[in-house]
Chain A
């Protein structure tokens, strides 16, 4: 259940770490896995030791998005449990999203973290193929 002001983890390497939902697209209710939302990047990811001495230049190169950017995103995990057609129910511990551009292409080039299998039914196969694991 992602709605206005919900905070999500960003699990791609676009450079954002935490994003806040500011709008759910195409519907008037809470978003779930596979839905498209608009987010504001609230926290940047700092790319550890390799970007240490290089300073700001490499950081800005690695980070395709900055804090305060408004982007589109796709939800890939929800802490709200949802049921599958076969009767099983899935629940993750956190809410997570992947940033995309307006055309629907992911901004990052790799994902780190499990994503829900429901993305396939919603035409997000590209994100699914980038993910290390799906459930």
Chain B
């Protein structure tokens, strides 16, 4: 390097030095990378034992290595079959068994089942015969069939001695001997619950006359020729019916 050239261009040698330096650095970098890939092994990342084979199963291994000779056999109860599988819908089964017990003939169920076109509906005049006590008759103003069929009941309304009386009867009650339809409503009621019949404006009053006539007709035989007989004879007849 001549001094003259240095003096003429003071930065020329610096440029050369920089170029040389860059080339050296590049060389060094490539060498160090190659060395790292080949040589550096971190001890903390090494496995102490060889990895298990792909098909190795722990459960199988323990079974194979277990020795059963001389061991007492522990008695184990067999697994009980699942109740849920045996009886998928227990509530329905219980209800069915109860209904079959309380309503052996199925007449009561049929009288109020939704499938029956001739079922008793609200607005009909019904007569409930009881095992203990007198029969009660009245206009059916509500039929309650909740979630459990066995609990279903009817609400009858009547006027006794000019006082409105309402009675709920359970359809499947063992105390209820029979339910009869005395008279059907001429037109289908457009309400599910005829609570409006409690108002004096809509109250039908006593249905005893209709029921008495129905009982007389049902008794068959010689019809009491209507107006000729007095009330006493009717009563006698009714009593006889009651005993049957």
- A residues adjacent to B (C-beta < 8 A): 77, 81, 83, 86-94, 96, 112-114, 117, 132-133, 135
Contact at B163–A87, with CB atoms within 8 Å? no
CB neighbours (8 Å) of A92 from chain B are: 163-166
Chain B interface size, under 10 / 10 to 19 / 20 to 34 / 35 or more:
10 to 19
Stretch of B3-11, B168-176, B231-239 at the chain-chain interface: B168-176
B167 at interface (Cβ–Cβ under 8 A)? yes
CB neighbours (8 Å) of B168 from chain A are: 81, 83, 88-90
- B residues adjacent to A (C-beta < 8 A): 133, 136, 153, 160-170, 173, 175, 198
Task: Kindly count the residue-residue contacts between A and B in the assembled complex, taking CB atoms under 8 Å apart.
Answer: 53
Q: Which residue of A lies closest to B131 (CB)?
A: A86
Of B161, B166, B173, the residue contacting A114 (CB under 8 A) is B161
User: Chain A binding site: helix, strand, loop or mixed by DSSP?
Assistant: loop
User: Chain B binding site: helix, strand, loop or mixed by DSSP?
Assistant: strand
CB neighbours (8 Å) of A88 from chain B are: 167-170, 173, 175
CA distance A42 to B30 in the complex (A): 119
CA distance A114 to B173 in the complex (A): 25
Of A83, A87, A91, the residue contacting B165 (CB under 8 A) is A91
- Known contacts A81-B168, A117-B133, A135-B160; can you find 5 more A-B pairs with CB under 8 A? A93-B163, A93-B164, A113-B162, A114-B160, A133-B160
Of B161, B167, B173, B198, the residue contacting A90 (CB under 8 A) is B167
Contact at A90–B163, with CB atoms within 8 Å? no
Contact at B165–A135, with CB atoms within 8 Å? yes
